[in-house]
Amino acid sequence: MRALEVNPSYEQSLANLATVYHLRNERESYNQTELKILGINPASSDFYTTLAENCIGRFRYQDAVNFCYKAISNDWKNWHAYGLLGANLLRIGKVEEARRFLERGFRGDPFNLFARNTLELIDEYENFNTLQSEHFELLIHNSESAVLGQPILTLAEECYDSLSTRYPYTPVARIKIEAYNDHDDFAVRISGLPGISLLGVCFGDVLAIDTPKAQPHNEYNWARTLWHELAHVMAVGISDHRVPRWYTEGLSVYEEMLARPEWRRKMDLELFAALDQDLLLPIEDINQGFTRPKFPEQIMLTYYQSAKWMEFIAERYGFNAITEMLVEFGKGQDLESAFQTVLNQTPKDVEKLLLDVLKSERDQYGAVLSNLPPMFGIQKDEQSFSEKLLGKSANPFFENLKKGFELLKDGDLDEAEEKFLKAIEIYPSFTHGGNAYQGLAKIYRERGEKAKLRDILKRYLSITEYGAEEARELAKLYDDEGNPALSEYYFERSMQVEPYDLNTHMRLAELYKAQEEFSSEIDERRAILALNPLDESNAHFQLALSLYNRGRKLDAKREVLKSLEIAPGFREAQKLLLKCVEVQD
């Protein structure tokens, strides 16, 4: 408003003011502002592109599409509007329509890097497969389709079954999932430019995630990311894209921990250190933690702080309060009104109650938080929170952890075990690299104490979303003990982080075969072939055998013929081919 006092006719300011009215659903004020700009310039086009750009930041992609159409109708040479329209059509899943407008915009402005990158990405889709399940359509690169396609759809259906019982939202069509094996492709999908640091994004009933191949240098749990984004689908859908950023992010993090206890984010130390330093953002400013962070760790801290909000509301007022507020957002209510309507309290009142709970919870971490240096700096090259914890703190937890690894290095296993157990007693949720669980596992391996090794690995995996190597080790221990169900569980668990391990797929295939779970075995046999095994002939034969056992004789015949093309003298394959032919006759 101050800008308009200086220049009442400035188009950019009028567009920003109109955005506020539009997002508040104040139609009369919006219409008056729109009439004012059209009175000044009846062919105004940038007014609508500014509205579109502002809507994108608030997840209002269909609104952005509508404004872009208006921009183009007022100026058919507004090439920026064509590119913006194409991008938002892509966000709502209209790929071919998006291509058409992007191409037109790029022809008019061949220097539009955003349009060029996005068009190149769309061209890449010819190297992707499309798979379907009851509620989902999955776009995934050919090279990963057989390895990750079915696991993604299986988990998505499990998530849908869970969320649909608690969220009053039913998509009008299949939810679209896009899985990218190249992070630059994923980044272009989101912003038109490479280099973005996100792992997943939700546009409504369309979402995109990285696969682990797109994160080769990082530990990455694709399953948790998928669940997180699917929770966004529900929150955005119920609220008609009007949910505040912190609310939907906190809700998705909260849904992660409801889905799998080990997916709960281990950020209590950061949270309570920030509480001690008065760095937790107040409710009126919490969205700025995502968009204008003041220190490197603040973005991730804001995710966790927002999740604590959701956890508190669910426990104090019941989970229905969360969804009822989403409904209120969908009606155009702001945060203050939604809290008053559903909780009969203001956001600040609820915040006071939450802070009281957090201060109470903080007490149990006193031994870990004692003697900590200032933990949050403003310099980007400053040490991370965990580096400071491990390098500078002098408190009982870290002293025991540090001493345990020193004793382990010196070969004093008994004393090292005692220190590690003490560290876990003080703070059992520490799972960063160099944690006490890994130290104890090394001790028990060296001693050959399989029962203790099994128990400490199980305990570790109950609180970490990673640990693929430990999960495979535990799966093998259970397999040796004759417990196929738990062996299967932990092999599958490892796939959430490292889905490309050929030996794991082979072990799972044999476990499914032994339990006559032939459909699951078939998926594993296809994954094995996609991972280029050394004995390709036998891999085709094993797939043919699992197909035969499942009753799919014609498919079995095709696979056994592929086996015999590679190894014509393969006797077992010849016998299976005869069985397939006899059945057909």
pLDDT in tens, 381-412: 566 666 666 655 567 888 899 999 999 999 99
Q: What is the pLDDT of residue 90?
A: 92
- The amino acid sitting at 284 is E
DSSP per-residue codes, 83-116 = HHHHHHHHHTT-HHHHHHHHHHHHHH-TT-HHHH
pTM: 0.92
Q: What is the pLDDT of residue 368?
A: 79
Residue 6 has pLDDT above 60, yes or no: no
Asked whether the beta carbons of 334 and 323 are under 8 A apart, the reply is no
Q: What is the pLDDT of residue 585?
A: 47
Using DSSP's 3-state secondary structure scheme, residue 583 falls into helix
**The pairing of beta strand 175-180 with beta strand 136-141:** parallel
Alpha-carbon distance values, 403 to 195, 340, 413, 446 (Å) = 40, 53, 12, 19
Q: What is the pLDDT of residue 49?
A: 93
- Residues 474 and 240: their CA atoms lie apart, in Å, by 44
Q: What value does the mean pLDDT take over residues 342-351?
A: 97
Residue 96, number of CB atoms within 10 A of its CB: 9
122-241 is classed CATH 3.40.50.970? no
Say yes or no: do domains 2-111 and 122-241 share a fold.
no
Of 9-13, 274-278, 401-405, which gets the smallest average pLDDT? 9-13
Tell me how far apart the 2 most distant CA atoms of the chain are, in Å: 89
365-374: per-residue pLDDT in tens? 887 777 766 6
Which CATH fold topology does 2-111 show?
A: 1.25.40
Using DSSP's 3-state secondary structure scheme, residue 178 falls into strand
Q: What is the pLDDT of residue 304?
A: 97
Q: What value does the mean pLDDT take over residues 473-479?
A: 97
Q: What value does the mean pLDDT take over residues 135-163?
A: 97
Residue 356, number of CB atoms within 10 A of its CB: 10
- Residues 69 and 66: their CA atoms lie apart, in Å, by 5
Return contacts of 519-526, CB within 8 angstroms, 24+ apart. Answer: 519/550, 521/546, 521/549, 522/546, 522/547, 522/550, 523/150, 526/146
Asked whether the beta carbons of 555 and 549 are under 8 A apart, the reply is no
Q: What value does the mean pLDDT take over residues 98-107?
A: 94
Residue 41 has pLDDT above 90, yes or no: no
Which has more pLDDT, 2 or 512? 512
What distance, in Å, lies between the first and last C-alpha atoms of the chain?
A: 83
Q: What is the pLDDT of residue 194?
A: 74
Q: What is the pLDDT of residue 375?
A: 66
Which has more pLDDT, 354 or 392? 354
Asked whether the beta carbons of 437 and 456 are under 8 A apart, the reply is yes
277-334: per-residue pLDDT in tens? 899 999 999 999 998 988 888 999 999 999 999 999 999 999 999 999 999 999 989 9
193-246: per-residue pLDDT in tens? 776 778 999 999 999 999 999 999 889 999 999 999 999 999 999 999 999 999
Q: What is the pLDDT of residue 405?
A: 94
Q: What ranges do the domains of the chain cover?
A: 2-111, 122-241, 242-366
Residue 493 has pLDDT above 90, yes or no: yes
